Copies of this chain bind each other. A is one copy, B any other.
Amino acid sequence: MVAASLRLPSLTSLLFPATTRYPSALRRTVFLRNRAASSGTTASPETKSDDVPRLRSDQAVTPRSQDFNAWYLDVIASAELADYGPVRGTMVIRPYGYAIWEAIQDYLNVKFKETGHSNMYFPQFIPYSFIEKEASHVEGFSPELALVTVGGGNELEEKLVVRPTSETIVNHMFTQWIHSYRDLPLMINQWANVTRWEMRTKPFIRTLEFLWQEGHTAHATPEEAENEAKQMIEIYTRFAFEQTAIPVITGRKSKLETFAGADTTYTIEAMMGDRKALQAGTSHNLGQNFSRAFGTQFQDENGERQHVWQTSWAVSTRFVGGIIMTHGDDTGLMLPPKIAPIQVVIVPIWKKDSEKTEVLSAASSVKEVLKTAGIRVKLDDTTERTAGWKFNFWEMKGVPIRIEIGPRDVSNSSVVVSRRDIPGKAGKVFGISMEPSTLVAYVKEKLDEIQLSLLEKAISFRDSNIVDVYSYDELKAAISSGKWARGPWSASDSDEQRVKEETGATIRCFPFEQTIGTKTCLMTGNPAEEVAIFARSY
């Protein structure tokens, strides 16, 4: 077997030879240090030094099992998902990472439109006075603001906030568009960049500037707003499960963790590979908080003026980080087929020059067949790397399926198909016919299987790492073992604060899926209506 012989251990040394395609990483480390010394934008003492990544793309990624954080940063560098911008905490999203974001956009954009939302665009500069109008909003956001104070060479009389979120400017505009109940519901969305001056940053997960969508709606009744907020968290939940194979837990935030300005925040919480929680999307029932602050009113059917009921909801480029940290393994990235920029990579293999033409010709035909069938396929026909190097490279990049074609395969009119999610020989099937309809059907079936398999694996990992707890001691034991704790909770905000201080865990949510039966608060012993999920988080 040509392919098998190429997968000898010795090939590991070929993976990232001395002259690598990606030598920039080491220079970057130097660069980052230089900037840290020279630039005011890195000057804050709160900046954590562990945020400067151990970029090491001149060699294989750090095994995930050895150092999760180093692995994460290595994967981002080696798979060319993102790079650091020149300003501390900013991120350049590179084509391979951006393509994942585009897949997220494509799916959600359709769902938003199907549910009656229109895209539009609001300016990113918000007068500072707007932020101050909603009391809890200003309290939540003012420490994180970037301010424009100079424009066109002149000091501005009123400083401008670079949008951290748009509820204020949205309400300012809504007051001008909403007059009567006939103007409701008003349901819009925008794809935009937002800025939050975070001190501790991590690519995709928390950056000074990030990309997101933010939906904003206004309704005539509280019921409609509540239904909308729940509908959107449901759309996010389905998206997470079906597209990204992330089995999020959906629920309601505690009062302490609710969005600054919302009555209720719904959330999808994902368990990363290190068992920390990632808040991957939120949907807020804003009640009348912003409409009262901004005077967003309408005349109802009886001619009475009322404040509108509102929601907002968002998913960001953070989701890309969630995908990396849910599915990746020691080898690198592992992408769910539905959002993989490349679903199938074809690696042609030849030893003698006499074999090259027929192998490349067969590989090209296979590529065209798959492409025509709507499969995202790449033919790696470069001659500068060995097939073994390519195997390792595309595995590190997380491509779900590899097709190998060698001279013997060409003679047999067949190909070798390997699954990224099943390492080694077990994931490899020989003799799949090149006949177009057979091959397309086979590849599509395998893509579906991989998608499902990634989800099942993630569900199993999630469920084996959630512990039901009935006392604070049990909660502490669960958290200190790195797991999530699920237990009945009806205690106070200060008790919740105490858990955070003593264990590092917060209430991630009161899950929609609740256990049946009488419950007793794990902290106070008082009756409890719900279980909460506690975890350390990003």
Whole-angstrom distance between the alpha carbons of A204 and B380 in the complex? 43
Q: Is the CB of B27 within 8 A of A176?
A: yes
B145 adjacent to A146 (CB under 8 Å): no
B residues less than 8 Å from A99 (CB atoms): 118-119
* Contact of A120 (CB < 8 Å), options: B93, B142, B149: B93
A228 to chain B, nearest CB (A): 17
A127 with B179, Cβ < 8 A, contacts A40-B157, A41-B156 known: no
B123 contacts A87, C-beta separation under 8 Å? yes
Question: A87-B160, A182-B21 are known contacts. Are A209 and B125 too (CB-CB below 8 A)?
Answer: yes
Q: Which of B154, B156, B188, B209 makes the CB contact (< 8 A) with A124?
A: B209
Asked if A162 and B162 sit within 8 Å, CB to CB, the answer is yes
A-B contact pairs, 24 of them (CB 8 A): A23-B179, A31-B176, A40-B156, A41-B156, A83-B173, A85-B123, A85-B169, A85-B173, A86-B123, A86-B127, A86-B172, A87-B125, A87-B126, A87-B160, A93-B120, A95-B118, A95-B120, A124-B193, A125-B146, A142-B153, A147-B149, A149-B150, A152-B197, A182-B384
A538 at the interface (CB under 8 A from B): no
A507 located at the interface, meaning its Cβ lies under 8 Å from any Cβ of chain B in the complex: no
Residues on B with C-beta less than 8 A from A93 are 120-121
Question: Which residues in B have their C-beta under 8 angstroms from that of A188?
Answer: 95
Report whether A21 and B183 are in contact in the complex, using a CB–CB cutoff of 8 Å. yes
Asked if A393 lies at the interface with its beta carbon under 8 angstroms from chain B, I say no
Q: Which residues of B contact A147 (CB under 8 A)?
A: 148-151
Contact (Cβ within 8 A) B148 A146 = yes
Among A39, A151, A192, A384, the most chain B Cβ lie within 10 Å of the Cβ of A151
CA distance A24 to B173 in the complex (A): 10
Complex Cα gap A102–B143 (Å): 35
Knowing A40-B156, A127-B39 are in contact, say whether A120-B102 is a contact too (CB < 8 A): no
A149 near B152 (CB under 8 angstroms)?
Answer: no
Q: What is the minimal beta-carbon distance from A179 to any residue of chain B, in angstroms?
A: 6
Contact, CB under 8 Å: A169 / B21: no
Give Cα A97–Cα B188 distance, bound, in whole angstroms. Answer: 13
Among A23, A144, A173, A384, max chain B CB count under 10 A is at: A173
What's the minimum C-beta distance from A169 to chain B, rounded to whole angstroms?
Answer: 7
Inside 8 A of A179's CB, which chain B residues have their CB? 23-24
Bitwise, A88-126 to B at CB < 8 A (1) or not (0) is 001111110111011000000000000000111111111
Contact partner, A209, options B91, B102, B123, Cβ 8 Å: B123
Is A199 an interface residue, CB under 8 A from the partner? yes
User: Is there contact, CB below 8 Å, between A90 and B123?
Assistant: yes
Instruction: Name the distance in Å between A37's Cβ and chain B's nearest Cβ.
Output: 11
**Which B residue sits closest to A95, measured CB to CB?**
B118
List the B side residues contacting A27 at CB < 8 Å.
176
In the assembly, what is the distance between CA of A186 and CA of B124, in Å?
Answer: 30
Minimum distance in angstroms from A319 CB to a CB of chain B: 14
Question: Are A28 and B176 in contact (CB-based, < 8 A)?
Answer: yes
User: A159 interface residue, CB < 8 Å from B?
Assistant: yes
Asked whether any CB of chain B lies closer than 8 Å to the CB of A158, the reply is yes
A151 neighbours in B (Cβ, 8 Å)? 41, 145-147, 197, 208
Contact B158 A150 (CB under 8 A): no
Q: How far is the CA of A93 from the CA of B49 in the complex (A)?
A: 41
- A16 part of interface (Cβ distance < 8 Å): no
Give A40 to B125 CA distance when docked, in angstroms: 13
Closest B residue to A27 by CB, please name it.
B176
Q: How far is the CA of A463 from the CA of B208 in the complex (A)?
A: 51
Q: Is A211 an interface residue (CB 8 A)?
A: yes
Is residue A130 contacting chain B, with contact meaning CB distance below 8 A?
yes
